[in-house]
Amino acid sequence: MAVPPVLQDRDTLAQRFIRTTMAYCDQLTWYGRNSLTRALAFAAAGVAEIGQQLYVALLRRTTLLGAQGEFLSQVMQEHGVERLKTSNAKLLLVVKPETTTVTAVTTGATDLIEVEDSGGFDVGMDMVIRSADGSDSEATGAIIAITSGTGPNSGDELEVATLTNSYSPGSENVEVLARITLAADTLVNTEDGVQFGLTESVTTGAANPVLSGEGSAVGLLDRVWCEAVSAGSSGNVQAYSVTDLAIGVDGIAAVYNPEPATGGEDVEADYAGRRRAAQWGAAASQETELWLGAIANAADERVLRAIRDSDTSVARTMKAKVLQRNGSSFTAAELTAIEEYLEARTRAGLEVSLSNVSLTSVEIEAEITLAPGFTLQEVYRSMASRLATYLDWRRWTFGNDVEEADLIVLVRQTTGVQSLTTETFTPLADVGVADDSLPVLARLSLTDTATGDVINATLTTSFATS
């Protein structure tokens, strides 16, 4: 292995000059402090020292291995890579409103809603009433008075200005939910001391799609994205780290994050920047599916998944499909914006053509016998959660069929199900999913074989949890 040259200072270079000159002189020459020969030696040494300093400065300014700090940032830019700056972590916040079970509804000039407990409700608060499984139409109104013990079942009564819809609770497990709006930038606290602010407003009890790529553990609830107030990796808090709202709001029973926060980054260290810049050319030119998804998400954070299209009929064009987080389709203008972002970052100079991912609806019907002590509503909610988590858009492989046998097992093993009538189970066979498609749980229908009660919901309503 070659030994790198040792850089020398001016005094060392001058002494080397003197020794070399003396070795080649026929007679001893005076090199005193004020001698001309010593001055010549130092002049020559100065030129060499400047040359060495320029060499070191050149290495530290123009090479990935030698550059540091701001110089390294400039060298990385010259390699086509920006040093990663700090970023704020994001988390998905679940907002749980105050709820209570309805025991009776008396209609009149004003509607009286008898409930088990009115403790979480105040006069002037908006509310929504509906069956807990979300299978019936809902009704909304504002509470104008709260009385105690006057109803037929001696429960608290919420006096509400006339409900928006005619509504009779019947025999279902009907609930009243406080309808509270949390404004954008509302702050929540975490166990780690990091505060997060809502990126948009959220209204409890408002309609939400059951699936938005997160699985029904959060898909059945009111939820909203939050961003850390301070940038950096300290914002990547663990699941269930959110403790409460920074300023309490009446009608909100709890807030929590069922999944960890992600995306918080510190300023990229020098060593990490060198490594990324050195590998950028090879990594970027691959343009893998992982790269496609990451860059598409950077263009529009609503992009949840992306897949390359197998169609290569158009030369120098990369065709792909993208899936929006809540299952909606991107508009033509939104697709164009993502295409332009991708085209600016393809090392091969490809044109990009995007379209929306198609979704394959999965509808499930089952006749079940309940285990003692369980209600159809409880089982329905638990089963919807299991099925939606199974059909999670984030993890499902494009083109994989949904096997009927898996669905039967999930339904049969749901807590509270004593038995399942497999002869009447729907779907009757595996659900075929195209190569560029993903399955979505569109409908779940349950029939209680003992009572004949049916819950048949399209799963488009946000659910309350008592």
| Closest-CA residue to 131 (of 456, 450, 447, 367) | 456
The residue among 367, 428, 380, 366 whose CA lies nearest residue 403 is 428
Q: Which residue's entry shows tokens 């669905």? A: 407
Contacts of 136 (CB under 8 A, 6+ apart): 130, 167, 172
Question: Which pLDDT band holds residue 131 (cuts at 50, 70, 90)?
Answer: low
- In a 13 Å sphere around the CA of 289, the CA atoms on its Cβ side amount to 12
Q: Are 37 and 30 in contact (CB under 8 A)?
A: yes
How many contiguous H segments (helices) and E segments (strands) does the chain have? 9, 21
**Residue 278, CB half-sphere, CA atoms under 13 Å: how many?**
11
Q: What per-residue confidence (pLDDT) applies to 216?
A: 41
Adjacent-strand bridge partners of 70 = none
CA atoms lying within 13 Å on the CB side of residue 409: 6
Residue 211 CA to residue 388 CA, distance in Å, equals: 7
Q: Say which range, 42-51, 328-337, 369-378, has the weakest mean pLDDT.
A: 42-51
Q: Where are the beta strands (DSSP E) in 270-347?
A: 303-308, 317-324
What is the per-residue burial (b if ≥16 Cβ within 10 Å, else e) of 276-307?
bbeeeeeebeebeeebbbebbbebbebbbbbb
- Evaluate whether 92 touches 142 at the Cβ level (below 8 Å): no
Please give the Cα distance from 59 to 61 (Å, whole number). 5
pLDDT at 386: 84
Q: State residue 443 phi and psi, 5-degree precision.
A: -155, 140
* Residue carrying the six token digits 């006096």: 159
pLDDT of residue 25: 61
Which residue would you say has higher pLDDT here, 369 or 47? 369
pLDDT number for residue 195 = 95
The lowest-confidence range among 271-280, 297-306, 359-368, 404-413 is 271-280
pTM of the model: 0.54
Q: Is residue 213 over pLDDT 60?
A: no
435: how many CB neighbours lie within 10 A of its CB? 10
Arithmetic mean of pLDDT, 288-295: 76
CA distance 227 to 229: 6
Average pLDDT over residues 375-399: 83
Task: Tell me the C-alpha to C-alpha distance, in Å, between residue 101 and each of 63, 218, 396.
Answer: 69, 22, 37
In the predicted model, is pLDDT for residue 152 greater than 60?
no
| Confidence category of residue 166, pLDDT binned at 50, 70, 90 | low
| Two tokens, residue 251 | 């009608």
Which H or E run includes 217?
helix 216-219
